Chains A and B, each alone.
Chain A
Amino acid sequence: MRVGVIERIKGPVVIASGIKDVQIGEVIEVGEERLIGEVVRVTSDNFTIQVYESTSGLRPGEKVYATGKRLVAELGPGLMSRIFDGIQRPLEEILRRTGPFIRRGVKLNALPRDKKWYFKPLVKKGDVVEGGSIIGIVPETRIIEHRVLVPPDIKGEIVKIEEGEFKVDETVAIVRDKRGREHEIKLMQEWPVRVPRPFKSRLPLTEPLITGQRVIDTFFPVAKGGAACIPGGFGTGKTVTLHKIAMWSDSEIVVYIGCGERGNEMCELLTEFPKLIDPRKKVPMIERSIMIANTSNMPVSAREASIYMGITIAEYYRDQGYHVTLIADSTSRWAEAVREISGRLEEMPVEEGFPAYLPDRLAEFYERAGRVVALGTPEREGSVTILAAVSPPGGDFNEPVTIHTLRFVGAMWALDTDLAYRRHFPAINWLRSFSQYAEPLEKWWVEKFPEFPNYRRRALRLLTVASEIEAIASVIGEGALPDDQRLILLTAEIIKEGFLRQVAMEGEDTFCKPEKQYLMLKMIMDFYDRAYILVRHRVPVDDIANLPEVFEMMRVKEDERGVEAVKEVYEKVIKALDNIARKYGIDLEGELRGWRKGE
């Protein structure tokens, strides 16, 4: 082993000398306790190590040991339903080993070495395989079948493969390449976390990630393989939104990175996941989830690594042919870790102390999202969707991390402090948010509900107009507005309270399926069309506003009977408006027909 010596210690950064051939990215063990670190800078006479654990008590003169390895993720069965720190140390085992407080210098493998897995080959002796090919499967959890892949750089003929029980580091197959060299394939492989895993080709993004949150799915959707960010000041609802998506979205696998955030939030996931039953597969959600936790009080440099660790694991399951959602809360804390290390390296800061390469780092990260055709055989597709929280200082989006993130994502769910104060959750501002996926995904909706795009566009327009009217109303008072404008405000309120607001943490409204979203939107917009005709015929808007059915529209989302209840309220609303029309002698249906034609 190559051994050097510590020259200087500055927080998480250690300068050492005495090893000639170290490389950037090489893992170094530092000091007597052999703390894990990575080389971040090399000069002619020394090198700098970013240490992933507390350096408190370290002394100049202590030894450092070069490992010749880069920072890698261990990939194989045994990741699912577990929780790791930023450099993939298993937190549950650490708890067992060192008690409730994390002590440093603990060395544990991510994948247990003693556990045996049942491997069933899918190829046989004589078959030709290449990097990425599936050679067999292991039941990892009740819902996740782990597909064992040939590591990317190997190609050749299977000369040996066996069914049976194996530990992760035992050989299950041997591949002989063209030059006659034999490669042992194990259940486990390693991959350097800072390098994206290769794939064959990218595919267009045509399928939505169904989150069950109306404001997202209907108005600002994200495609499977896309990237969305959710920026917002403290307490505006980033974490709750992301938790809900982690729990309820139709992802096949979720990798959740708690990056520089609260310990209690990770604990909440750990307590909730095992209790939540996947409505489709009927087993606890924990069996499709992997967690990376590097909370705010854990070492900053490991926080920097946690993002790469998470995305590498996500890519690995993508390569097996799964739709994976990667959630990172919060990328701002990651950017701050990058800044802090950069500062200790005395690099030249550009904006707000961030180094000049911040945008590149962000771009590299978001580039790792995508829907792809995986390498190898059989042909299959998989995707990684990235959903990332951004925590702008003071809640002001005009700051480097938010600005640069927006360049690389396809959707933004802009959280709004005012909405949060009014307890309108999710506090996603419908005027500031956007999704470039809305258009390509329209086809998906139209196949199911041909009228959907029309309702969606009209509802968005109505909300925009309503905000303009509100601005006027805040100066002259609502009472002074003409009735048609007051009707717009009323309808906007029904959309906000009855459709956009979705706060349930249990029961019917936690997850709203697409059909119900569509029917609810249709109910409100059909209400608006009819009421509009009535108001034009001088029916006082208060007659409409005071209908009990108006309040029912706001409540129906929580009715346990779901779609049925919406249909029922829909009928009631139409009937109530028909009654008013009759009272005033207005031919509502006739006018609606004419109106639709005219449109």
Chain B
Amino acid sequence: MEERGVDVISLVKGMYGKVYRGVKEIRGSLMVVEGISGVSYEEVVKIVGTDGVERLGRVLEVSKDMAVVQVLGDEEGLDTSCLVQFTGTTFKIPVSDEVLGRIFNGRFEPIDGLPPIVSGDKRDIYGSPINPCARVHPHEFIQTGISAIDGMLSLIRGQKLPIFSHSGLPHNVLAAQIARQATVPGKEEEFAVVFGGIGLRNVEARYFIEEFRKTGALERSVLVINLADDPAVERILTPRIALTVAEYLAFDLELHVLVILTDMTNYCEALREISTAREEVPGRGGYPGYMYSDLATIYERAGVIVGKKGSLTLMPILTMPGGDLRHPIPDLTGYITEGQIILSPELHAKGIYPPINVLPSLSRLMRGGVGPGKTRDDHRYLSDQLYDAYSRGVKARDLAKIVGEVGLSPRMRRYLRFADEFERKFLSQGVYENRTLEETLDLAWEVLSIIPEDELVRIPREYIEKYHPKYRGRELESS
């Protein structure tokens, strides 16, 4: 203990700015400091406890002689006699091309054994809003090699498209597959991947690091990892650090960047914790009323900017508490993102990978990114027809559970068969299977040929005649 005490003194000597000893009150991760002056709102604070450990904090509220500070990092071991230093600046990290290939913790300290990043431009991790006039409407199709996504939920460069999952489902495997396979057809550049792990379990973190290493993706990646046993409050910083790095790669270095944030539910939980500690009026589920705006400052950082070659595509992953889509976390996320990919425990139980329930899933930017000149002229209609047929099939399946298959009309029975085939042939694929878009669309036609041509009302006749297996001289499976 004595030794540490000395450390504290030397630390203080190295501190610039105003240093105060003693705080009035510590409540959870909040700290009230009195007798201060010249402190600014949202300024970063360094706090050294009698244990000698340095933590970071942030000013949440300030008046002439009092500040409320949010402690980031472990509040255990802090007491009212700790040292507090106000740094005079908001939260910033240095960015340079040295970040590529590196692994950091939720405070942007390296955890890969290499030295910290010191040089480079310092950026506020909270960023600034993109001027709506500076945006280019995202329209470039990304091929993920996954049929359900490419065919029906196309991912577009600059889109924010989350995965809503349940604990125990292979969302991480899917995210890693997307990171591995994502390309823009006809363009050779690979995506730089920024990975933000929020409250990640050790095995999950290791999985991603291993995946990235194995496939050689690590050198074009940046990993920012906050582990489950790291301080929860740091989860507030992790996605913002990841996005600050990503913005730098996308809009300074002009790379195409794919950002994966997992698990945003842990982020929201940390947000709730802070809000509770501040005794704010809670909103639905105890989450703060400003959670929508707060999440928007994260998700809205995705996009494409006029005059910049790069792009920032964002794939947040979250597990829905209680599997409930209406839970505030998926709900508010869905209200901000440009669609959602929803995983289903039922499909997973059936052994289907990827277990994507396409019906409630949606890619809002698909319309502008597919079709003639972009992907294939029948793409959009085909996708519409698949939705229609599959939703009828699922309805038939539900009905068959009640009245038995014999109780179904012949038409309904056909749709039921379609649903089975759709899941078996189109949806299912291997974790390492990378399908081209042509393969995906042709598969779609193949399963759709179960349905009589006349009933394909969502596809214009010209495309039926162009692509339907019957007209392409192929054998009809059903005949």
Contact = CB atoms under 8 A, between A and B. Distances in A.
Contact of A271 (B62, B137, B303, B367): B137
B407 A333 contact: no
Interface of A: 7-11, 15, 55-61, 83, 91-92, 94-95, 98-103, 233-235, 258, 260, 262-264, 266-268, 270-271, 293, 295-298, 300, 333, 336, 339-340, 343, 349, 352-353, 391, 393-396, 417, 420-423, 474-480, 497, 503, 505, 548, 551, 554-555, 558
Contacts of A474: 398-399, 402
Given A101-B131, A102-B129, A352 B284 contact: yes
A95 B388 CA distance: 43
Interface stretch (B207-215, B286-294, B421-429): B286-294
Interface stretch (B183-191, B253-261, B454-462): B454-462
A8 B61 contact: yes
Nearest to B413: A479
B130 interface: yes
B175 interface: no
Contact of A260 (B61, B293, B301, B326): B293
Contacts of A297: 129-130, 293, 296-297, 300-301
Interface in B99-148: 126-138
A551 B456 CA distance: 9
B244 to A, nearest CB: 12
B281 A61 contact: no
The 3 closest A-B pairs by CB, nearest first: A296-B296, A100-B134, A394-B326
B20 interface: no
Contacts of A262: 300, 336, 338
Contact of B457 (A9, A235, A554): A554
A8 B306 CA distance: 39
B131 A296 contact: no
Interface centre among A58, A297, A555 (most CB of B within 10 A): A297
B281 A343 contact: yes
B347 interface: no
B412 interface: yes
Given A296-B300, A497-B457, A57 B40 contact: yes
B136 A421 contact: no
B331 A394 contact: yes
18 contacts: A8-B61, A10-B61, A99-B134, A235-B334, A296-B336, A297-B129, A297-B293, A298-B129, A349-B281, A391-B335, A417-B360, A423-B387, A423-B388, A477-B407, A477-B408, A477-B409, A479-B409, A479-B412
Contact of B137 (A94, A267, A423, A497): A267
Contact of A58 (B40, B283, B367): B40
B340 interface: yes
Contacts of B158: 264
A241 B136 CA distance: 22
B338 A100 contact: no
Interface residues of B, number: 77
B290 A300 contact: yes
A226 B133 CA distance: 31
Given A56-B90, A353-B281, 20 more contacts: A9-B62, A10-B61, A60-B39, A60-B62, A100-B134, A260-B296, A264-B303, A266-B132, A266-B135, A270-B133, A296-B296, A300-B293, A336-B289, A340-B293, A352-B283, A391-B335, A423-B388, A477-B402, A477-B409, A497-B457
Interface in B191-214: none
Contacts of B40: 57-59
Contacts of B387: 422-423
B138 A59 contact: no
Contacts of B126: 56
B41 interface: yes
Contacts of B403: 475-477, 480
B438 interface: no
Given A91-B131, A267-B135, A474-B399, A235 B367 contact: no
Contacts of B360: 417, 421
A382 B305 CA distance: 39
B359 interface: yes
A270 B384 contact: no
B409 A478 contact: yes
A336 B131 contact: no
A555 B128 contact: no
B166 interface: no
B38 A393 contact: no
B39 to A, nearest CB: 7
B63 interface: yes
A475 B328 CA distance: 33
B379 to A, nearest CB: 14
A267 B304 CA distance: 11
Interface string B299-314: 0110101101000000
A296 B283 contact: no
B339 A235 contact: yes
A293 B300 CA distance: 14
A61 B64 contact: yes
B348 interface: no
Nearest to B340: A235
B402 A475 contact: yes
B86 to A, nearest CB: 11
B251 interface: yes
B64 A339 contact: no
B290 A423 contact: no
Given A8-B61, A477-B399, A268 B137 contact: yes
Contacts of A417: 360
Contacts of A267: 132-133, 135-137
Given A100-B306, A235-B339, A477-B408, A7 B293 contact: no
B292 A333 contact: yes
B230 interface: no
B54 interface: no
B46 interface: no
B38 A296 contact: no
Residue of B158, B289, B305 contacting most chain A CB atoms (<10 Å):
B289
B276 interface: no
A310 B302 CA distance: 27
Interface in B373-412: 384, 387-388, 391, 398-399, 402-403, 407-409, 412
Nearest to A92: B133
Nearest to A337: B293
B338 A264 contact: yes
Contacts of B331: 233-234, 393-395
Nearest to B68: A10
B280 interface: yes
B303 A343 contact: no
A349 B281 CA distance: 8
B293 A103 contact: no
A588 B212 CA distance: 72
Interface in B442-461: 454-455, 457, 460
A558 B463 CA distance: 15
A338 B130 CA distance: 23
A572 to B, nearest CB: 15
Contacts of A83: 132-133
B399 A295 contact: no
Contacts of A548: 454
Given A9-B61, A57-B42, A59-B38, A263 B303 contact: yes
A233 B331 CA distance: 8
Given A59-B38, A476-B403, A270 B61 contact: no
A508 to B, nearest CB: 12
B173 interface: no
A3 to B, nearest CB: 17
B88 to A, nearest CB: 9
A51 B453 CA distance: 61
A197 B426 CA distance: 59
A7 B63 CA distance: 5
A304 to B, nearest CB: 12
Most B CB contacts (10 A, CB to CB) among A7, A61, A234 go to A234
B322 to A, nearest CB: 13
A274 B398 CA distance: 47
